[in-house]
Structure 1
Amino acid sequence: MPVKRLRSHVKRWVKHTFQSRPELTITTATADCATPSLAMNRKYRFTTVLEIFVDYTKDAQTSPGSPATISTYDRLGIIEEKDYDQDSSSSPASSSQWERLESHVAKLNRESDGHELYKVIYVVRHGRGVHNVVMDAVGPQWKEKWALQDDARLDELPDMPELPGTHGDKSERISWVDSPLVQKGREQARELARDWVKWNTENGMPIPGTIYTSPMDRCLETTMLIYGDVLRENGRNVQPVVKENLRERLTNHTCDRRHTRSWIEENYPKCHFESGFKDKDMLWKARISGTVNAETDDEHTLRKHCLLEDIFDTDNSHFISMTTHSYAISAILASVGSPIFRVKEGSMLAMLIKAEKEPPPMNGKHSGVGTAKQAP
């Protein structure tokens, strides 16, 4: 099928699928899953269960500046003193709010007829990276010029105090290919690590059964820094699962060109890889070949829907974590029916997601999906 026709098909599908709420705007999409077969044969309808956590969207809209942005809330903004069940036998009053939520999610899954699944997803945006620093320093020239290059001489760029070594030889070069964290990004991750230990110890916040991460260096390091301490205190090792579809929106920006699988294995030996993970970065190269343009927002949203279907199909954990990127989070929000907001670097949010198995399509069409629901 020609690319133009395929994209038109995907755009119509995403509009039908995710724009059931007038205030919902689509932000991101990808090609591996952007096929007519997925659009016609998707397995799940994803929705966000409301009134479990604070209204991130409302708070983001009151944040200064543009776009609407949130940072990490205390205990991730779980709503206190909320009774999830009329039958409270499984969550006594002495339990913390997080412990009651854990019991509630287990009950929802236990009592489901097999057509509904529930998971709490901790969504993490990686800490501040080299590309973020350069982007802020050069402004509009980032997209026009620098994002397309592998590196630059220091004397070609504005002064950037955040980057170590930039006050010496200005003829040296700085690279942002598969952009790593800067020191501030590591500090952001370590702060989340301290929060995790506190919330888990004092509030019973459940650690994720599975930790997923984008294969980009900045996400891998963020994940290892955040979860190392809290998992050790619970007798577990950090063994993230690397998933290709957690990557950022695919463009020709070199900061989003990943290292090889071999490099990841050498530098992050505790990581596991999803089945079929390639050594070379085939996705990014496909977008500089001249045959496929940058991933559209609709394609990206469809890719994240594909990611969620894979996880809900194969992972029995009730609590999971995903470390990913700014526009990737926007696409996840669109996939689960949430209005779009941005998440600051090195920040985390939580959502209770309901997956309903789709009935066989009628006349080649599914009913619309992607809506927010009141708490069951």
Structure 2
Amino acid sequence: MNSGSKAFFLVIMTIALFCGFLPQFMTVQIPYNFERLHVFLFNLCSGGSIILYYTIGKKRITAPVVFFIIISIIYAFFAFFNLYIPAMVCSFILASIVASIRIRRFGFIPGFFKKDVSVSEKFHQASMLCLSLGLVISTLVIINNEYLYLISMKKLVIDTFFLGFSFPLSLITMSLMFALIPEHLHIESHSLKEAGFWAINLGVIIFFLFILFEKMVAQLLISGMLFIAVIVIFFLYMRDGKAIQQKNFLTSGMFFLVMTAITGIAYIVLEFYPNRDPQIMKFLLKLHTFTSLYGWNLSGLSVIIRYNDFPIQLHSRRLIAFHWFTVLITAPIGAFSKEFAIAATISYAFILYRVFFSGPADHAISQKD
């Protein structure tokens, strides 16, 4: 990826983070949800585009990805301003772009049940399929909620489905991780990897259904099962993953994923208590969001952006520590403090700059880092 493309993603990702802090800087009440921009600019505009770039496999960003970027930004602002008809048109265009690239790369029918398809590729296919289906399903929810009113459910709201755009990013990061694990290295590895693939995908789908039907106990059980699946995957990755520089970033990402699971479970548990503190709930939800988007998902996207550049001249352990400090402390407090919000945005932009623009390193430096 060239420098201009990296600079674009740095800017759009930084704006995405700041949009999450923007309401506290507004001096007048505005009837629009800035969380939508926060989610769309990172998950769809940045994340979706980077997934397509990785799937196409060219060193430079090609025309379909550029078109996706432009339409996704337009879509984000239409959705933000509640202009749903043009937003739906954009959504179907985006879904068509994703589907055409997926079919060209993997074929029409996903190879989830094929034995000769690696688990890494299955996660990659699932990421692409989830991205296109997410666009279509969110449009169907808009049609239902704004025009047809066929289904009435408390949790069947547009913003709930918009949050689902983070799942393709999670799946592509899983794909990168499993790509570092050699096939059939241990007898039990293949079975555990296959089980991990189905546990993550089916688990998240079932969990989402339980959210819609407001089944709190079932949510807690499924989240616990997902947590166990993550731990098993983490064990396989640490034991069998190739010892290269990318592993530092993805290992950090896995720790972020574990933290995401813990904060998610804690949030569900607190939901059972009627006298829970709303401020604590808000902080915990923000911590969960930041560890998921700007911790776990960013780790995978960073590796994709620098995919052809590793090893890179970067003191990755120091940067990873600063990344953790920003995501776990500065950013969540920034949801309550303007000063911390500004500090978190600047810190985040610095992290992106260091990751995206560090030059190449020799083998000795890469092993030391």
The answer to whether the superposition gives a TM-score over 0.5 is no
Q: Report which structure shows greater RCO (CA 8 Å, sep ≥6).
A: 1
Query: Which TM-score band (shorter chain)?
Result: under 0.3
- Structure with more strand by fraction: 1
Q: TM-score, normalised by structure 2?
A: 0.27
